[in-house]
Structure 1
Amino acid sequence: MQALPLRVLVLEDHLFQQTVAASQLKQLGCQDVFSASNGAQALEILQRVGPVDIALCDLHMEGMDGLEFLHRVARAGLVGAVILSSSLSEDVRRAARQLVPLLGLELLGDVGKPLRIDTLEALLKKHLYKPAVTSATLKPFALAGIDEVRSAMQHQQMETYFQPKINLLMGDVVGVEALTRWNHPSGEMVPPAVFMPAIESSDLLNDLFFTQLNHGLELQRQAWSRGHLLNVAFNLEPVQLSNPELVSTIKNVLYGYGLPGSTLTFELTESGLLEASATCLESLVRLRMMGCRLSIDDFGVGFSSLQRLCRLPFNEIKLDGQFVRGLDEPRCRAAISSTLALGATLGMSVVVEGIETPEQHQQLLDLGCAQGQGFLFAKPMTKQDLLVWLETRVMPDTII
């Protein structure tokens, strides 16, 4: 067995299971394996031997439990990554899985019990052979300040990409979502999470939006000339809707392209709509009066979803991709089914995000979902790539 240059701590209060876990780790070739029966004992070991790469951690035990242990080692920097191993119910473990990254620790996986050596081996290798992050990769990300972002926009480095929305029953493309990617001079494709905070904190939000809008309308016109009718969705922030001139400007841009408002969808995250101003609400109503669709994005991850649906004129729900990733869990399936039923009752279409596998696609069909998007169908692509894709794409085998 190849030696793995890993230091691993086993935190398990059941002596037999602790022994089995330590034995499997040694069998897999781990450099150093330490064992503890509770959090306090584990902390003493770490203070004596120093930090470890991975903690294989149970949650429920006498004395200092696994959660308190993780809090302490995260603050002290004594553990790099965590593998959860617990016999607690799935809903409790699911919440624990969400907690680990919030503590600043890497979650490698949740192996449950009994522990399987093949599963453990896969997680160890996942940690050991993850792609290296080089200084060249990090450089453009670290420089994403307001001045550089403004320069990037002036030099047209911000490019609009489009990700298709699919009719899950027939395989037809029902629309696309416009997304921005930064083609950095270094050759890196910088993700929105790096540059959007700078854009949102400056006066560049509308500049980016209207650049996207023009790119999307150009795509629409070219796609229509080839026989493809595409609705294009754009993300809007509530602060933009508070500008009383926004809707009239959108209307003028549409007029210049000779396109109706019904060809557009505007997506707004529910978390940004906690306090909708009078001007914001009026803008939403005027967009609907123009025939535009309004979509509440990332549905299910905020705190006031139902209130927003009742008070604001949305006609589409975009269900966050975290529910698709949890399709094997009864609660996530129930949440999806309930959202589909809610959409049908309110006369709203439901689009499910984050579909990545044929199995997820089939499960969503079984639940009655009709629209979705995700890497199973297509990743975001440039305008020219999308036009080629529309002409040459092959329907997935799972489409019925």
Structure 2
Amino acid sequence: MQVLPLRVLVLEDHLFQQTVAVNMLRQIGCREVFSASNGMQALEVLQRVGPVDIALCDLRMEGMDGLEFLHRVARAGLVGAVILSSSLSEDVRRAARKLVPLLGMTLLGDAGKPLQVDALTALLKKHLDEPAVTATNSRPLVLAEIDEVRSAMQHQQMETYFQPKLNLLRGDVVGVEALTRWNHPLGGVIAPAVFMPTIESCGLLNELFFTQLNDGLELQRQALTRVGGLNIAFNLEPVQLANPDLVSTIKNVLGGYGLPGSSLTFELTESGLLEVSATCLENLVRLRMMGCRLSIDDFGVGFSSLQRLCQLPFNEIKLDAEFVRGLGSEPEPRCQAVISSTLALGKALGMSVVIEGIEKQEQYQQLLNLGCTQGQGYLFAKPMTRQDLLAWLDTRAVPGKNI
């Protein structure tokens, strides 16, 4: 029998199930297995034997329950990773699964009850194969300095990337979303989370936006012979909508390329639209009058999404990727319900619905089954430069190259 270099603690108040778990872990080959019937007893075990690699943890028990135990060991650094094993309802377990990473520990998975040896083995091997995931993900985000960002803008290091949106039924490209990536000469490609807050704080949003707009319109012109009209979506921040000259400037840029407003979509997150001024509302109306589409982005994660749909002239909903993550081999019913309800809402309001964050084939298939028709995600294509996108479009023109 292969010996796994793992020290595992079983926290389970039901004696028979505790015995089953301990024997199963030994059968799998764990080097050392300890057990306890409640949180206090488990802490005493850890004080005696030292830290363990993994805690196989029930949640509900007399005395100190599993949640309080996890709080205690997280602060003390006594457990590296956690496998949950509970018979509580799925919605409670789902919330508990979100808690573990917030406490600074790796969640290997939810084994449920009764334990299955194959599922438990897979989770243990996951820990052995990916021991450094938590350390990498828990590093604090360091924002770029203002001088660095200004220099990057001056030296044209901020490059526009494009991520395709597809018709999920036919596989053809219906548009692309324009995104900015910082191609740092030493640091490589830097994600927006590092530099976008700095760009906003130092008043460079409009400069970046109009660079994106010109790059996108140039892409449209080059793509005409490949896919015909290609709608380009741009992200707008609410502070930009407060500029009374925004729409007239966009109109002038479009005129220079000889392209209609209907070729553009503007995506706005509803979280930034809590207070809409007269200028903001007028700009939204004028963009629609030009034929532009307006999309409410990250739909479903704010507190007033439905209110914004009623108040503002949106004609597209982009459902946040969080709900797609709930789809998989064991789909979450609540996520399915949210997606179905959003599709029904979009249909009732005459709005298209775009699903973000599609990364797995099984998610794609389930979205088709739910009636989704538009989406984007890494399953189809990652964001890419203009030249890479044009080359990608050329490959899709070959028969059999769609989804």
Could you tell me the TM-score, scaled by structure 2's length? 0.90
Q: For each residue in 1:79-120, what CA deviation from the matched residue of structure 2 results, as whole angstroms up to 9, or x when unmatched? A: 332221111111221222222223333222112112222222
Q: CA deviation at 1:140?
A: 13
Q: Match of 2:302, SS?
A: coil
CA contact (8 A) 1:8 1:30 kept: yes
* Cα distance in 2 between the residues matched to 1:287 and 1:123: 51
Partner of 1:87: 87
* Cα distance in 2 between the residues matched to 1:192 and 1:269: 16
Q: Match of 2:5, SS?
A: strand
Q: For each residue in 1:194-217, what CA deviation from the matched residue of structure 2 results, as whole angstroms up to 9, or x when unmatched? A: 222322332222222222222111
CA contact (8 A) 1:140 1:186 kept: no
* Cα distance in 2 between the residues matched to 1:4 and 1:71: 27
CA contact (8 A) 2:172 2:402 kept: no
CA shift in 2, pair 1:315/1:34, >3 Å: same
* Cα distance in 2 between the residues matched to 1:128 and 1:223: 47
Q: Match of 2:94, SS?
A: helix
CA shift in 2, pair 1:332/1:50, >3 Å: same
Amino acid of the residue matched to residue 295 of structure 2?
S
Q: Match of 1:386, SS?
A: helix
Amino acid of the residue matched to residue 341 of structure 1?
A
Partner of 1:306: 306
1:293 and 2:296 aligned: no
CA contact (8 A) 2:226 2:393 kept: no
CA contact (8 A) 1:140 1:188 kept: no
What are the ranges of 5 or more consecutive residues in structure 2 without an aligned counterpart? none
Partner of 1:321: 321
1:226 and 2:229 aligned: no
Q: How does 1:339-354 map to 2 (within 5 A)?
A: 339-354=342-357
* Cα distance in 1 between the residues matched to 2:20 and 2:400: 44
Q: CA deviation at 1:249?
A: 2.2
Q: Match of 2:234, SS?
A: strand
**Aligned counterpart for 2:391 among listed residues 379, 388, 391:** 388
Partner of 1:333: 336
Q: CA deviation at 1:335?
A: 1.2
* Cα distance in 1 between the residues matched to 2:316 and 2:127: 39
Partner of 1:190: 190
Amino acid of the residue matched to residue 73 of structure 1?
V
* Cα distance in 1 between the residues matched to 2:2 and 2:138: 31
Amino acid of the residue matched to residue 171 of structure 1?
G
Q: How does 1:41-120 map to 2 (within 5 A)?
A: 41-120=41-120
1:203 and 2:203 aligned: yes
CA contact (8 A) 1:7 1:53 kept: yes
Q: For each residue in 1:134-157, what CA deviation from the matched residue of structure 2 results, as whole angstroms up to 9, or x when unmatched? A: x99999975733322332222222
Q: For each residue in 1:37-79, what CA deviation from the matched residue of structure 2 results, as whole angstroms up to 9, or x when unmatched? A: 1122223333444433322221111122222222333333333
Q: CA deviation at 1:229?
A: 1.6
Q: Match of 1:226, SS?
A: helix
Could you tell me the TM-score, scaled by structure 1's length? 0.90
Q: Match of 1:291, SS?
A: coil
CA contact (8 A) 2:143 2:198 kept: no
Q: Report sequence identity in percent.
A: 81
1:355 and 2:362 aligned: no
Partner of 1:245: 245
Amino acid of the residue matched to residue 376 of structure 1?
L
Q: For each residue in 1:238-275, what CA deviation from the matched residue of structure 2 results, as whole angstroms up to 9, or x when unmatched? A: 12222223222222222222222111111112222222
When structure 1 is superposed on structure 2, of 326-335 and 41-50 the one drifting more is: 41-50
Q: How does 1:360-375 map to 2 (within 5 A)?
A: 360-375=363-378
CA contact (8 A) 2:171 2:402 kept: no
Q: CA deviation at 1:279?
A: 2.5
What are the ranges of 5 or more consecutive residues in structure 1 without an aligned counterpart? none
What is the CA RMSD across the aligned residues, in angstroms?
A: 2.7
